[in-house]
Amino acid sequence: MTREHLPHLSLFAEVARRGGFRAAARALGMSPSAVSHSVALLEERLGVRLLNRTKRSLALTEAGERLFARLDPAMEDIAQGLRDAVETSDEPSGRVRITTPQSACTMLLKPHLGDFSRAFPEVSLEILVEDRFVDIVADRFDVGLRLGEALRPDMIAVMLSPPMRFTIVASPDYLARHGRPASLDDLAHHRCIRRRFSSGLLYVWEVERDGTEITLPHLSETITTNDDDLMLEAALNGSGIAFHYERRIARHIAEGRLIELFPENCGTFPGFYLYHSSRRGMRPAVRAFIDFFVAANRTLR
């Protein structure tokens, strides 16, 4: 291998990691045709096909799989070496990439972003807000936020919030127009505000009855969304009954804008954690981010 192979190897690794030329091109800020041409040139110089291409799909060949298995960790080692070279002191600097669901971002990150920027002016944050389960190693994130029940066992995790609780709520206006459900089973006859994940699955309302966890099936839908803020606004304006994070809506309950229904049936579950991969070294900027936001949210626990 000569040095001229290195740029092409880097592009091939990104294509293999992201599963296609277009996804790799978007991540790298290049055109798909330029990425495709680079990989084709690498194959020509190596004298072996690395990818099987059709108009609708792309897959690694056996040779491509062997190369990527060696190349991916090597590229990560090089990237870590570059980060170490840039960060020559313990002063936090550089970019930290974070993946987080909207709820965690709203409750745990947004209130403290200004203070963090003032405390660490040389650190830049790239925050991707989405509800899918992200592989932080494959997608090159430094830190993730997820509920404790969703963490993979090979992740290093730090508790960010206390146990969380969902609660069932409706506005006084909605209850005046539609009546108050007398039992959990009555919810099947009410207008409900539902959440749909990016995977397409509807979130199932999980509650407790007689000490046993159950789910509430067959709920009707008046509004379905993947936006937590829209769910809250819809509940406040009387569109239906919502199942929402208690902490997000505690003020509205206290002010009487929302009425809590069946509080005895809504239990707690593990809260949010910051996590990172055990494969990666802990850069000062990443350590600063974790320590700062754990401390900033300590009053919750």
- Whether the predicted pLDDT of 2 surpasses 60: no
- Which helix (H) or strand (E) element contains residue 74? helix 62-86
Among candidate residues 161, 164, 165, 166, the one with its CA nearest the CA of residue 273: 161
- Measuring CA to CA, how many Å separate 135 from each of 114, 132, 174? 28, 10, 41
| pLDDT tens per residue, range 62-108 | 988 888 888 877 777 776 666 655 555 568 899 999 999 999 999 99
Take residue 175 and report the two structure tokens written for it: 């209850």
| pLDDT tens per residue, range 16-39 | 888 888 888 888 888 888 888 999
Distance CA 79, CA 13 (A): 13
User: Which DSSP symbol is given to 181?
Assistant: -
- pLDDT at residue 195, as a whole number: 93
Of 148-162, 174-188, 232-246, 252-266, which range is least confident? 148-162
What is the band of 197 on the pLDDT scale with cuts at 50, 70, 90?
Answer: confident
DSSP labels, 110-156? GGGHHHHHHH-TTEEEEEEE--S---TTTTT-SEEEEEGGG--TTEE
The rounded Cα 164 to chain-centroid distance in angstroms is: 17
- pLDDT at residue 246, as a whole number: 94
Among candidate residues 191, 173, 166, the one with its CA nearest the CA of residue 250: 166
Take residue 138 and report the two structure tokens written for it: 């494959």
- What are the φ/ψ torsions at residue 31 (nearest 5 degrees)? -85, 150
209: exposed, middle or buried (Cβ count in 10 Å: 0-12, 13-18, 19+): middle
Rg (CA), the chain: 24
Per-chain mean pLDDT for the chain: 88
- pLDDT at residue 301, as a whole number: 53
The rounded Cα 45 to chain-centroid distance in angstroms is: 39
Distance CA 262, CA 104 (A): 24
Residues near 16 by beta carbon (within 8 Å), at least 6 away in sequence = 51, 60, 64, 68, 71, 72
Distance CA 133, CA 36 (A): 28
Take residue 235 and report the two structure tokens written for it: 């509940």
- pLDDT at residue 300, as a whole number: 59
Take residue 53 and report the two structure tokens written for it: 């291409």
| pLDDT tens per residue, range 109-126 | 999 999 999 999 999 999
Among candidate residues 164, 189, 165, the one with its CA nearest the CA of residue 241: 189
Report yes or no: 145 and 274 within 8 Å, Cβ to Cβ: yes
What is the band of 289 on the pLDDT scale with cuts at 50, 70, 90?
Answer: very high
* Type of residue at 215: T
